[in-house]
Amino acid sequence: MLRALCLTTLSLPCLLHAAPPKPAVDAFFGQNCTECHDADVKKGGLDLTAISWNPEARENFDLWVKIFDKVRKDEMPPKKSERPEAKALTEFLASVSKPLRDLSAQQQTTNGRTVLRRLNRNEYERTVQDLLGIDIPLANLLPEDTPAHGFDTVAEGLRISQLQLEKYLEAADEALEAAMSPKERPELIKGHYSYKDEGSIKKNLELPDEPPTDPKKKYSRSRQVFRLLPDGVAMFTDADYMLGLGQFRVRRGGTFRIKVSAQAYQSAGKDINLRLYANNFRTKRLVAQFDFPEDKPRIAEFTARIDNGEHLLFTPSKVGYDEDGKRLNDYDTTKDFKGRGLNVQWVEVEGPLESQVWPPASVVKLFGAENVKTVDNSKQKKPETYEVKPADPQAEVKKVIESFAARAYRRPLEAGEVDDFVKMAQESLTKGESFSYAAQLGIRGVLTSTPFILFSEAPGKLDDYALAARLSYFLWSTMPDDELLKLAAAKQLSQPATLRAQVERMLKDKRSNDFVTNFTGQWLDLRSIDATSPDANLYPEFDEMLKRAMVTETESFFREVLVKNLPVTSFIQSDFAMLNSRIAEHYGIDGVRGEQFQRVSLPADSVRGGVLTQASILKITANGTVTSPVLRGAWVMKRLLGDPPAPPPPGVGSVEPDTRGATTIRELLDKHRHAESCMGCHNKIDPAGFALESFDVIGGVRDRYRSKDKGERPATKIENRGVWQYKLALPVDTTGQLPDGRAFTGIRDFKKLILDKPADLQRCIAEKLLTYATGAGITFADRSAVADIVQKTNQQGGGLRTLVTEVVLSSTFQNK
């Protein structure tokens, strides 16, 4: 079935209908347009005297939409031309929009606006994890999805290839193996460890405290970077090779509960951050991080998955220097060092926690508690195992596969729909294979079948089961839970009051974190946070923890707006920010302690507030070395105002920045944008970028550019030492004006101008949510639905949660 499917494009062509008659626009064109757009002049390659009316053809339809939008936005005729009369303008817009809207709506009625689509790889992973009760990662086993209209949930980008079919089988096998493991009950480890007993630390403490008297002799590495204390070990280094907890070794991967007792040491009252990595000697991944105070020990507790081959690595941040910026090696003797360190008192590890439940919960979930039995092997001095032995294997394997398939397909099964999978499993039993093996054959088939991989949506209004799936994948990125399916079975889910209640319930559930991460990651382009690396010489203060804090700040801000149902205009300006100690330090905001993100009130004159001035956005809209008003302006137009700029004309080169500090980006850009072919677009793109020039590549506030060559030494200190890596060069100019002539002098003014006309922002966010939720881009016929959603939202206060609810209540969401 899948092999046949991969031969299709999964993007069915629209059934064509007779085009409506051409609108009466010739008189309007003649009076206002053809002076520049005729056969002789043909500006922009457009001759309106010869334009055809064939909107059933995609290119022609898109051309007429472009003409309509240019006139509607008052971009055409140009500002220097005489303006059309109001009546003529209204009649023109109505005559063009109605036939385009009617044709678009007609095609949607016949075919649906969302073409056949599949689970993306993130949805596949989350769904399989929920079906089998496992937590192993699966998404990376599948090919990357191709975003369309900005999201990887859109059907146009979700094709199926032969490679994907092979990877689905591989992922299904990995998932089933994880669900059936472990075969033996693992031993529960409860360890209490002290760094005093670590071999690497003992060796370091044996180094001489004072430098060698013979100048020809040198230290191996340096000198003591640990200090033995009555209750622990003070660490003055972040060197990975010295900080692994060698006493703990993972015998079997799983979930572990980890506790750390630590305390900042000689830190002048400032907290010190400790990062915990799982390290397999090839790569390391951050699993937790905590801030520890100096006044008293703190016990931090968390759970994390640690896999076979990984060990724990505890790394303190910003240690090994004192208040004067002197390093450990600057001191004559180590014992005299008064600089920052972290006193780690003890570490406790317990796990794998899965051993506390036996047989494995995933096995019971798969086969049913009545079919799974514990096997006591104590007489053989072996761990407990389990066996799956139903009384009637042939009947039970059918029941198991059908039950699993009904959950996987997210709807009741059709008669005989999984008979082939059942037959395959029963034949395996007949050949003498075990029940678990036979059942896995059938379940593997279900996990690679089209009803599981594809959404069951037919043209027209979605039935309650399809609606449950659309709602669940919108807000949870996974399959519907029992409550949604129960409401669907009773045909009550589509009732407006029920849908409202379910949206509220689902957004309160922790699974909605996937919505926050996946939607913001694509709408605001947070997934590109690693696309560039800031120049270490120009931005030496940038580090891994700051990068992580950048993304989490934006996600936390979105969730705060969502949970508190704050106006969507909060994305432009807010009187608060969501900060932890690391990002607050970067912003120069005092009084924020701890690694947890918290709501922090901002002073009235703060440049922060909203997403525009968050470090994550400012980083992803820069290239790692310098900022570009073009990149940032285009981002604002596309992500916040819903007006993506056209690509540059052929042959137009990019603006190369001057990192020497002799020329500002504005001066370089002015030469570029004065070209007639560039001016029109840059007048729209650049203003937002100019307003954001007061922020550097990593989101720090600046009034001068950084340079490697020209300029003055900054007064800034990093780790209590003066900065030598860069210089302060030419001043930053943040003035500009919008295309309508309204001027601003900086980001504060710019935000106010945007909020004077919030309609574009509200429409844009509504369109983004609707696209992400339904798996289809916004069509011309959808425009009125979007306007209706925004209007209803504004009537209820304009909150983000209200907007999400109105999207779900819309007929566009509830129809294919």
3-state secondary structure of 188: coil
The 10s digit of each residue's pLDDT in 481-504 is 999 999 999 999 999 999 999 999
**What residues does 191 pair with on adjacent strands?**
349
Tokens of 722: 């003066």
- E strand or H helix that includes residue 261: strand 254-265
> Can you give the CATH number for the domain in which 342 is found?
2.60.120.260
The pLDDT of residue 1 is above 60: no
pLDDT for res 680:
64
- What's the whole-number average pLDDT of the chain? 91
Tokens of 755: 């909020």
Residue 208 pLDDT grade (very low, low, confident, very high; cuts 50, 70, 90)? confident
- Mean per-residue pLDDT, 382-398: 96
Domain membership of residue 63 (yes or no) is: yes
pLDDT for res 219:
45
The larger pLDDT score, comparing residue 247 to residue 14, is at: 247
The 10s digit of each residue's pLDDT in 425-474 is 999 999 999 999 999 999 999 999 999 999 999 889 999 999 999 999 99
The pLDDT of residue 376 is above 90: yes
**Three-state SS sequence of 526-579:** HHHCCCCCCCCCCCCCCCHHHHHHHHHHHHHHHHHHHHCCCEHHHHCCCCEEEE
Q: Are residues 71 and 196 in the same domain?
A: no
Q: Which domain holds residue 544?
A: 526-557+579-751
pLDDT for res 544:
94
The pLDDT of residue 220 is above 60: no
Q: Are residues 538 and 681 in the same domain?
A: yes
Residue 370 pLDDT grade (very low, low, confident, very high; cuts 50, 70, 90)? very high
The pLDDT of residue 13 is above 60: no
**Three-state SS sequence of 350-417:** EECHHHHCCCCHHHHHHHCHHHEEEECCHHHCCCCEEEECCCCHHHHHHHHHHHHHHHHHCCCCCCCC
Q: Do 367 and 436 meet the contact criterion of CB atoms below 8 Å apart?
A: yes
Q: Do 25 and 96 meet the contact criterion of CB atoms below 8 Å apart?
A: yes
Least confident of 221-225, 649-653, 724-728: 649-653
Least confident of 66-80, 215-229, 603-617: 215-229
The pLDDT of residue 183 is above 50: yes
The pLDDT of residue 313 is above 60: yes
Q: Do 670 and 518 meet the contact criterion of CB atoms below 8 Å apart?
A: no
Alpha carbon dihedral 631, 632, 634, 637, in 10-degree steps, equals 170
The larger pLDDT score, comparing residue 78 to residue 596, is at: 596
Domain membership of residue 795 (yes or no) is: no
Cα distances from 262 to residues 239, 288, 644, in angstroms, run 18, 14, 50
Domain membership of residue 295 (yes or no) is: yes
- Bond before 99 cis per omega within 30 degrees: no
Domain membership of residue 636 (yes or no) is: yes
Q: Are residues 544 and 668 in the same domain?
A: yes
Domain membership of residue 436 (yes or no) is: no
What lies within 8 Å, CB to CB, of 600 at 6+ separation is: 576, 577, 578, 579, 584, 589, 591, 592
Of 353, 346, 246, 252, nearest in space to 299 by CA: 346
pLDDT for res 216:
57
Q: Do 94 and 16 meet the contact criterion of CB atoms below 8 Å apart?
A: no
Domain membership of residue 182 (yes or no) is: no
Of 516, 502, 514, nearest in space to 478 by CA: 514
Q: Are residues 352 and 218 in the same domain?
A: yes
The larger pLDDT score, comparing residue 28 to residue 552, is at: 552
Residue 304 pLDDT grade (very low, low, confident, very high; cuts 50, 70, 90)? very high
Tokens of 3: 């092999």
Least confident of 445-449, 550-554, 671-675: 671-675
Q: Are residues 194 and 105 in the same domain?
A: no
Domain membership of residue 282 (yes or no) is: yes
Residue that terminates a domain, selected from 65, 84, 111: 111
Residue that terminates a domain, selected from 327, 356, 385: 356
Residue 150 pLDDT grade (very low, low, confident, very high; cuts 50, 70, 90)? very high
The pLDDT of residue 222 is above 90: no
The pLDDT of residue 22 is above 90: no
Please give the Cα distance from 782 to 812 (Å, whole number). Answer: 7
Residue that terminates a domain, selected from 708, 733, 751: 751
Please give the Cα distance from 703 to 728 (Å, whole number). Answer: 9
Of 150, 96, 154, nearest in space to 120 by CA: 154
**Three-state SS sequence of 224-245:** CCEEEECCEEEECCCCHHHCEC
Please give the Cα distance from 552 to 566 (Å, whole number). Answer: 19
Total structural domains within the chain: 3
Domain membership of residue 470 (yes or no) is: no
Of 313, 187, 333, nearest in space to 239 by CA: 313
Percent of the chain with pLDDT over 90: 76
Please give the Cα distance from 289 to 777 (Å, whole number). Answer: 39
pLDDT for res 16:
46
pLDDT for res 792:
98
Residue 296 pLDDT grade (very low, low, confident, very high; cuts 50, 70, 90)? very high
- Mean per-residue pLDDT, 626-638: 94
